[in-house]
Amino acid sequence: MLGNHYFQLRNFVLAESTYENLSKNQFGDFNILKKLIICYTQTNKLDKALELLFLLIKKDINTILNSNSKDEDCPCNDLITKIETGEITYSNRHETLTALGILHLYCNYKNSIKYFKMAIKQNSNKQLLNEVYKILKITIQKNILQTNKMELK
């Protein structure tokens, strides 16, 4: 698929455009949505990234939590490094923290929660950000409880 080709080349603008033009059937593919979320973080469309992330984690949070960065050619670790070193910038601290929260979710949910919490402190009026944070906290707590129960058996 052409969108995946552009994604592998890290041409997020063309990958985004290609993914957005897919049929509704193809657009519902969780792997495409995961990539589109990443594209949005790199094309300064963080509100769209957050909206899509919210929809995806409401349907199936494990799609992102169980991401395999090597097998899926996930650029998140590289993008996180570029953001943290200032090579990639956003218009304000809140956007930077939101982007880091989104990207960390693909590889380290604990860091993701930390960045989303900081972003909420910067701007607590972002309802969608608060909803994403709540879903993550609830899911993580459930997973921890399930893990603890399994260890007790």
* CATH number (domain holding residue 52): 1.25.40
Do residues 84 and 99 lie in contact, with contact meaning Cβ atoms separated by under 8 Å?
no
Higher pLDDT pick, 1 / 54: 54
Q: How many domains does the chain have?
A: 1
Range of the domain at 58: 2-152
In the predicted structure, residue 9 carries a pLDDT above the cut 70: yes
pTM score, whole prediction: 0.88
| Angstrom distance (rounded) from CA 72 to CA 121 | 32
Tell me: the pLDDT tens digits for 74-88?
A: 899 999 999 999 999
Cα(9)–Cα(19) distance, integer angstroms? 14
Taking the C-alpha atoms of residue 115 and residue 111, their distance in angstroms, rounded to an integer, is: 6
Q: Which of 132, 10, 17, 30 is nearest to 74 (CA)?
A: 10
Cβ atoms of 118 and 98 closer than 8 Å = no
pLDDT of residue 150: 43
* Farthest CA pair distance, the chain: 50
43-95 pLDDT, tens digit per residue, is 999 999 999 999 999 988 888 888 776 677 789 999 999 999 999 999 999 99
Q: Cα–Cα–Cα angle for 18, 4, 20, nearest 5°?
A: 25
DSSP state of 88: S
